[in-house]
């Protein structure tokens, strides 16, 4: 919101890394309102299990909006079992065209261990070219660090953790309290 009375929510960095047959999504725990850290231990990475099919999702933006999107994603996955990309495209179409959903301020990184996708309110479903993606206020820092580490001997989790540590050293809206979920196909 650009409203002067509302200082705005900041404070999320989410990274997704695919390497060596596994995908890791990691997110920090900081939630800030304006210049104040409201919580340092929020859990912004979740595992969804729909009929034995697991999906890991990380979100940036408004928590209520993100949970609304996660619920919608679950419904799309129930309608298209085992088809994360199709469910994500359906969610993005709804998000883009539904007047209620258009007001939601969040982004998602989702994976089923095979696909790694970013879903936005602009109707985008993006697959990263370099097997690393990041969103949120420290996302660009984490993305740059993750991309630089991809040629190392580190596995996906080590890369995600190191990239998040670098982002938390640079971005004041990111902390080092991580939630990390790993999934493989």
Q: How far apart are CA 125 and CA 180, in angstroms?
A: 22
Task: State which H helix or E strand residue 23 sits in.
Answer: strand 22-27
Taking Cα atoms as reference points, which of 49, 14, 56, 53 lies closest to residue 142? 14
Residue 183 lies in a domain: no
Task: State which H helix or E strand residue 60 sits in.
Answer: strand 53-61
Taking Cα atoms as reference points, which of 181, 138, 184 lies closest to residue 45? 181
Residue 133 lies in a domain: yes
Residue 1 lies in a domain: no
Characterize 141-158 residue by residue with b for buried, 16 or more Cβ atoms within 10 angstroms of its Cβ, and e for exposed.
bbbbbbbebbeeebebbe
**What pLDDT score was predicted for residue 11?**
67
Residue 4 lies in a domain: no
Taking Cα atoms as reference points, which of 100, 94, 106 lies closest to residue 65? 106
Burial class of residue 14 (count of CB atoms within 10 Å of its CB; 0-12, 13-18, 19+): buried
List per-residue pLDDT tens for the chain, 185 residues long.
Answer: 344 444 444 568 999 999 999 999 999 999 888 888 989 999 999 999 998 999 999 998 888 888 888 999 999 999 999 999 999 999 998 888 877 777 777 889 999 999 999 998 788 999 999 999 999 999 999 999 999 999 999 999 999 999 999 999 999 999 999 999 999 98
Give me the domain span that covers residue 87.
9-178
DSSP states of 76-133: HHHHSTT-HHHHHHHHHHHHHH-TTGGG--EEEEEESSS-EEEE-TTS-EE--TTSEE
- What predicted TM-score, i.e. pTM, was given to this entire model? 0.92
Residue 137 lies in a domain: yes
Provide the token pair at 101.
């959903």
- Tokens 């050293």 belong to 169
Residue 185 lies in a domain: no
Could you give the count of Cα atoms lying within 13 Å of 102 in the half-sphere of its Cβ? Answer: 4
In the chain, how many domains are there? Answer: 1
Residue 170 lies in a domain: yes
CATH number for 51: 3.60.20.10
**What pLDDT score was predicted for residue 5?**
46
- Check if 12 is active-site: yes
What are residue 56's DSSP bridge partners?
47, 111
Residue 95 lies in a domain: yes
Catalytic residue among 12, 13, 133, 174: 12
Q: How far apart are CA 151 and CA 144, in angstroms?
A: 13
């Amino acid at each position: 919101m650009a409203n002067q009375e509302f200082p705005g929510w900041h404070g999320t960095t989410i990274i997704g890394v695919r390497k060596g047959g596994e995908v890791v999504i990691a997110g920090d725990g900081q939630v800030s309102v304006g210049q104040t850290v409201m919580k340092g231990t929020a859990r912004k990475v979740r595992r969804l299990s729909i009929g034995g099919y697991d999906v890991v999702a990380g979100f940036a933006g408004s928590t209520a909006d993100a949970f609304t999107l996660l619920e919608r994603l679950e419904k799309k996955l129930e309608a298209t079992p085992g088809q994360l990309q199709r469910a994500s495209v359906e969610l993005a179409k709804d998000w883009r065209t539904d007047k209620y959903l258009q007001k939601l301020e969040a982004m998602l990184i989702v994976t089923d261990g095979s696909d790694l996708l970013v879903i936005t309110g602009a109707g985008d479903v993006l697959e990263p070219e370099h097997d690393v993606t990041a969103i949120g206020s420290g996302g660009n820092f984490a993305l740059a660090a993750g991309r630089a580490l991809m040629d190392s001997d580190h596995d996906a989790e080590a890369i995600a953790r190191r990239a998040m540590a670098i982002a938390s050293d640079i971005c004041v809206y990111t902390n080092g309290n991580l939630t990390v979920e790993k999934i493989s196909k």
